[in-house]
Chains A and B, each alone.
Chain A
Amino acid sequence: MDKMDKERQLIHEFLDGELSPEERRDLLDRVNSDPLLKREFDDLRSVVEMVETGERLAVPPAFTSQVMRRLPAPKVSFRKRVSSFFFGARVLRWNMATALVTLCLVVIATGALLQMQKKGKVVSYQSSVEKSSRTVVISFQAPQAKAVAVAGDFNQWSIEKGLMEKKSDGVWTLEVPLEPGTYHYMFVVDGEVWVSDPNAELYRDDGFGNKNSVLRVSL
């Protein structure tokens, strides 16, 4: 490598910023004192500057959207497809027809819901009674009686509400849905005679000289 080649090598290292401060100073001193070397140095530096300061080209518009259009459909697993179907956000595009149809569906659904709610009150009430209570069969044997009723605090001591049904063996029965709790009751024979239940577990004075039968209903 001759002297000029070595100097050229140093100029390139200078342009790459790889010389130490001392080496840079020495090179610049030699460049300034040697017209031929200065020419080499200036030409090379000028070329590098020209390339580095050249205008950066602007990307044509819609470049990104065109790339996105050309991308292959992503390979998504079945699980992700299902998950995305149910939970993925999507954009709905509306027109007047779909808006009107949707409005009609909303009106119909709201009407149906209100209708169901009305029925639902009864249904839910019945259901809750059935769920939280049990049906107790109260029975009383009186083959000679013409009518027997059971009156108690569960039917506001009403004879009419507690009318019992006579079975073939002379046993009068009534099914009463009762929630868990303690109830007092008596039998009323032929609409006049108030009788305590002879099989009751417990009795309580009614304050009028009679004993109410006590019934305990548990869950």
Chain B
Amino acid sequence: MQAEEYSLIEQCRDGNSEAYAILVERYQGMVYNVACRMIGDRDAAYDISQESFISAYDGLKRFRSDSKFSTWLYRITVNKCRDYLRCRKPDVPLDEVTEILPSKMPDPEESMYQKQLGQTLQRAIGALPEDYREVIVLKHIEGLDYKEMESILGVSANALKVRTYRAREMLKKVLLEAGVSNG
């Protein structure tokens, strides 16, 4: 996989844009989901995902073959999200996440409940501070380990562990206040 990917990257560097289309196809889901979860707005996430791939293409000459392409692409995406969030209006206050979720529905309305649960979860993630949001998205949505997160975020794995513990505690608190319980 790695060798095939480096071969594609070499082809891109030689001006073969078709090779880049293969990489975009392969990683678009990853980039789009990270952007959506970080930003909480699908239209903006779409633009950020596009910009991330264009920046990656521009910077392919600087990509070092000793790291994974996906790690590098995560880093670009996270940075794009940070830039966007910096310019955007303030995040949803924590207390606005509450009172969104109805009490748990009976089975026929389960799918509606699940949809609302998903929306509540997204709002709860969006209510977290930016650095907490990053670790929740990378750790639990993308399933990365702390070592890879260290490469993406430029923060030591130990510091990221502590940050993740705190992010989980805060997310738990927000969700409990929004009426989401494990029962």
- Listed in ascending order, the chain A residues whose CB lies under 8 Å from chain B are 8-9, 12, 15-16, 42-48, 50-52, 54-60, 63-64, 66-68, 70-72, 74-76, 80
**Partner among A12, A66, A71, A80 whose Cβ is within 8 Å of the Cβ of B164:** A12
B54 contacts the other chain (CB 8 A): yes
Q: Interface code B50-64, partner A: CB below 8 Å = 1, 0 otherwise?
A: 100110011000000
B147 contacts the other chain (CB 8 A): no
| Contact-size category for B | 35 or more
User: Which residues of A lie under 8 Å from residue B140 when comparing CB positions?
Assistant: 48, 51-52
Closest A residue to B26 by CB, please name it: A64
Q: CB distance A70 to B50 under 8 Å? A: yes
Q: CB distance A64 to B171 under 8 Å? A: no
Q: CB distance A51 to B136 under 8 Å? A: yes
Q: When chains A and B are docked, how far (Å) is the Cα of A162 from the Cα of B165? A: 114
B79 contacts the other chain (CB 8 A): no
Q: When chains A and B are docked, how far (Å) is the Cα of A58 from the Cα of B29? A: 7
With known contacts A43-B182, A63-B49, A76–B175 Cβ distance under 8 A:
no
How far apart are B149's CB and chain A's nearest CB, in angstroms?
Answer: 12
B15 contacts the other chain (CB 8 A): yes
B90 contacts the other chain (CB 8 A): no
B48 contacts the other chain (CB 8 A): no
How far apart are A19's CB and chain B's nearest CB, in angstroms?
Answer: 13
How far apart are A195's CB and chain B's nearest CB, in angstroms?
Answer: 80
**CB<8 Å pairs between A and B, sample of 23:** A8-B165, A43-B176, A45-B182, A48-B168, A51-B140, A52-B141, A52-B143, A54-B118, A57-B32, A57-B33, A59-B28, A59-B29, A59-B49, A63-B28, A63-B32, A70-B54, A71-B54, A72-B58, A74-B15, A74-B17, A76-B15, A80-B14, A80-B15
